[in-house]
A and B are shown apart, each in its own frame.
Chain A
Amino acid sequence: MIWAKITPVPVHVKDGVAEIQCAGLNNKNIVVLAIYGPDVVSRVINEGDPIIRRIMHNDSLLWAQGSAKVFYVPRETVCKTFASLNGAYVADTVIGGSKEDVEAEAARRAAKLGKWNEIISNRPLLNCVAGQWCHRLLLPVLLFWLLVLSLNYIVSLDLGRRVSEAQMQSRFNRQATEQAVALSAQQERMLSEYKSLALPVSSSSIDYIASLLPDGMNLSNLAVMRQGLCLKGKAERVQSVVSFAARMSDASWDVEVRSLDEHPEKDHYDFEIMLSR
């Protein structure tokens, strides 16, 4: 995968003047210079040739080794052209005799330098590639964040409204709950008062008690109270009251004879009995 765009740039050197044959370069470009032309001098490589060694050690020459030759050109001639590069980063230089050869070699070098392992091992190149990526992605990234911030503004406005509504609702609910609790307690009090006033169901008991009344025993008052039933009346004999009390006891009632008084005329007894369970 090619991570950086590296452009081969032909440079024609003739009569001590280097001419860049590529327009529109700037400091975001990474280039491989392909130097060719009449000023490029070549020399066949022979083992033990001292001139070859001198060329390679001469700082005023820019040289490159081909398969069988060494090509070289005065460094100063090429350096004059750097101003025309407008700050483009020169990643590599290829020197050759013919334009086709150097362009092909420059394209091959450019493709090789664009690979990740080449970029990461070359810090200036890495910095330049990072700048290139930064330049390329700056606008999309800024647009993305602008979009995010716009959305965030809308969401934030909506959330702010919702939060204030929820806070208001929460306060209202808390107050309503407190009021409901107080109201419920008051209602519970009323209900317990109501229940305390209510008598137990007693019609079947009254019917049952009336059915157990023996002959000679008449009721004048039968009152139902929360603690039981109060019976008042007359009995011809004491035995009648005793018999009734026994029957009620047998029916699991607590019998309390509160009074049993002989009437002044001595013809009957007035009684008061309390029945409870």
Chain B
Amino acid sequence: MKTYLGIIKLVSLFVFLPLFLWVAVLSKTGKQYKEYRKLSITQADMPVRSTSLQLPAEKILSGEAFVGELDAMSSREGFTIVNYIPSFLKSEAGVSLYSAKLQAKGRFIPLLKLVHFLEEKEGMRLSSLSFLRRNENEDVVTLEMELIQLVKDEEGRR
């Protein structure tokens, strides 16, 4: 045994000691690093889900700008806004549905222009539309329509 003591010491110093330190200590750090890498990759690969609905946050129907536009158009085209009633219908998942009842009176063509204007306006849709003529001897037509708008709530935005 004594004949090999020096060799045993040298082998212990350069083979067994590193092996022991790796098994006892360093491999745990290696495992930690692997786990960290795995978590990093998992996080990077995790799809970032967001509510991607492209909706306006501005409530057009109850905004004074829209009412102002209607008023300006009625003066320009020569029809009358008889009533305009905006209302809130429902809210869910950070998205709210608003509506507005609009009644206007005037000649057919200006009212048709109003319909066209509202159809072209971004962020809102028409949910009902009807032209009524109560007296066939008159040119005056009543337009009744309902507008709807889907709005993303402030807290619903991501």
Contact = CB atoms under 8 A, between A and B. Distances in A.
B50 to A, nearest CB: 6
A127 B32 contact: no
A197 B127 contact: yes
Given A177-B47, A199-B127, A163 B95 contact: no
Contacts of B17: 141, 145
Contacts of B131: 206, 219, 221-223
Contacts of A183: 51, 93-94, 156
A184 B52 contact: yes
A203 B115 contact: yes
Interface string A212-244: 000000111111100000000010000000000
A206 B112 contact: yes
A134 B10 contact: yes
Contacts of A137: 13
B26 interface: yes
A170 to B, nearest CB: 6
B23 interface: no
Interface residues of A, number: 62
A199 B129 contact: yes
A149 interface: yes
A180 to B, nearest CB: 4
Interface string A121-140: 00110111111111001100
B119 A162 contact: no
Contacts of B95: 186-187, 190-191
A259 interface: no
A219 B93 CA distance: 43
Contact of A180 (B6, B7, B36, B49): B49
A180 B39 contact: no
Contact of B39 (A138, A156, A166, A202): A166
A190 B136 contact: no
A169 to B, nearest CB: 6
Interface in A157-180: 159-160, 162-163, 166-167, 169-170, 173-174, 176-177, 180
Contact of A127 (B7, B53, B148): B7
Contacts of B42: 170
B46 interface: yes
Contact of A221 (B5, B6, B50, B133): B133
A83 interface: no
Given A177-B47, A224-B130, A170 B6 contact: no
Given A156-B28, A163-B35, A130 B10 contact: yes
Contacts of B128: 199, 223-224
A177 B17 CA distance: 48
A68 interface: no
Contact of A123 (B3, B93, B133): B3
Interface of A: 123-124, 126-134, 137-138, 141, 145, 148-149, 152, 155-156, 159-160, 162-163, 166-167, 169-170, 173-174, 176-177, 180-181, 183-184, 186-191, 193-194, 197-199, 201-204, 206-207, 210, 218-224, 234
Given A206-B115, A210-B112, 14 more contacts: A129-B6, A130-B7, A130-B10, A181-B49, A184-B52, A188-B53, A189-B93, A190-B92, A194-B125, A198-B148, A202-B129, A220-B132, A221-B130, A224-B126
19 contacts: A127-B6, A130-B10, A131-B9, A141-B14, A156-B28, A173-B43, A177-B46, A183-B51, A187-B93, A189-B92, A189-B93, A190-B92, A191-B53, A193-B97, A197-B125, A210-B108, A218-B136, A220-B136, A223-B131
Interface of B: 3-7, 9-10, 13-14, 17-18, 21, 25-26, 28-29, 32-33, 35-36, 39-40, 42-43, 46-53, 92-95, 97, 108, 112, 115-116, 119, 125-134, 136, 148, 150, 156, 158
